[in-house]
Every structure is written in C-alpha cells, then in structure tokens.
Amino acid sequence: MNTTRIGFIGTGVMGGSMAGRLLDAGYPLFVYTRTREKSQPLLERGAAWRDSPGAVAADSTVLITMVGYPSDVEEVYLGPDGVLAKAHKGCLLIDMTTSRPDLARRIAREAARKSCMAIDAPVSGGDTGARNGTLSIMAGGDEQSFTRALPVLQHLGTNIVFQGGPGAGQYCKMCNQIAIAATMVGVCESLAYAEAAGLEPRRVLESISRGAAGSWSLSNLAPRILDGDFTPGFFVKHFIKDMGIALESADALGLPLPGLMLAKDLYEKLAAKGLGDAGTQGLYRLYKDTD
C-alpha cells in the first residue's frame, strides 16, 4: 500500500470518480463532503470518513479539493475548521476546483505561511475523463510543489501541464472554458439547423465531426444531445459560474469578450428554465423547447 496519505474533499460527479482512482492506486484515503451519502461508495471501498475539512487535513500528507464554487474553496481552506487551520507542516494542497486566480494566489500565500505547499490544478474532461483518468490538468504554483504533486496527478490525468506561478492553472482553465462556451453554442446551433433543414443529424455529425469543425464537444456531447441525454458530465450552473469568473478576470485585464458574454446569457436563460442541474449539452434545449 502507498504510504502517502491522501485527503479528498468534494466527492460529487467529478470528485467521486477521481477519489476512486486514488483508492484503486492503493493510497490510504480520507474523505469529507457536505453530503456524506455522496461518499458512501468510497467508504464501502475502504476510504475513511472525516467530519470536517480540518479533520481531513490533520490526517493527510497530500490533500485534494474538488468543490463547487470559489466561496466553497475559501471556506474549505481558510475557514476556522478549514484545511490551513489543521494541516501539518509540509502538507501538499492541491485545489482542482475551477476557481478564481486571485483566490488561488491567496491560498498559496497562506499555505507558505503555514509551511505547506499549494498548487491550483483545475481540470477538463468531464465525468468521462474523471472515470477513466484521462483528464487534462492545468497546474499553477511553484515547480517544486508541482513536481511533488505529479505522481498523484498522473493517476487522474494524461495531459498534465505546468502553466506557471500560483493562479496560472486557473487562468489556463478560464481559457479552456472560454473556448468551450463558444464551441457549445456552435454545436447546438449546428444540430438545430440540421434538423430544421430536414437532414438526418447523425449523418451530419458523421461528416462534420471529422472535418475542420471537429471538437471534443462535437464528438462527445453531440451524440448525447441526439440521444436526448442531458445528464451532467458538468453542470450548467457550474459552467455559468466559470464564465462569470472568466468575465470578471478579463475585465480586470481590460479585455472585452463579447462571445463569452453571449454564451453566458444563453446559459443563464437555460438555468432560468429550471435546467441548472443539466449537463452543458442541455443548451440544445433552448433551440427545441418553446415553452
């Protein structure tokens, strides 16, 4: 058994699969999530439950977080019974949540004051990538911390790139989300157009997914759309959060992003229809639902 003790906070759609891969790799695993039932499959496989983020940190040499929103990240790391209140000297902290670059830098500073190491390492690849260990991982922090984290990250992803100092992983993830936002609008409008023109959408997909229009979203999410499968690999509500972070940070950089603003507006309309818990491919419903 691996002697590195890993704490994992946040065992939802993505985190549960990621934590499971670390169990499969033989790491002792300590888990916490706000809804304990979400951790039950991991507990049945040998993970140990802890009652708070601080309690997880106290038992861990490496701690990973995969929570929902920047406010959750802030609470988990900086709260009175949070990670940094209880982490031991030398603990490596890996936040894989998509969060704000400025918060990642703040956590890195606070970790250094506690003689801990910290990297921000958000991911892309959805539920499929989390299950299969094929996530793209974008890391920010100091290189020594990244090098130490790499053996753990290699159980979770296949495309792991060090982007620079603290916050750089989050900035890179915003680049990813900006590209996905415009792509998802194009995918949904393309399929809606094909159907309106009387074409067989699966034949259209067969043609265009292998040409210049090809993308991960077209190959992986368009088939789900055509199957009427809008279950989340990544929640609409979390995508809206990400687009908000990207627009906020772009504004601070003095960079207008009109395409992203349009995509966010469309996704907010989708959430207003009660579909915030759908997968991002649920955007197609805007083009098909008339109520």
Q: Where in the sequence numbering do the catalytic residues fall? A: 173
Distance CA 256, CA 254 (A): 7
* Alpha-helical runs (H) found in 133-233: 143-153, 168-196, 201-208, 216-220, 222-226
Give the strand pairing for 123-124 and 135-140.
antiparallel
Please report where in the chains the tokens 């030398």 appear, as a residue: 90
Q: How far is CA 183 from CA 124, 154, 188, 263, 268, in A?
A: 15, 28, 9, 9, 17
End-to-end Cα distance, the chain = 56
Phi, psi of 103 (to 5 degrees): -70, -40
| Non-local CB neighbours of 41 within 8 Å, separated by 6+ positions | 16, 20
Phi, psi of 124 (to 5 degrees): -140, 150
The dihedral of CA 271, 275, 278, 282: what is its sign? negative
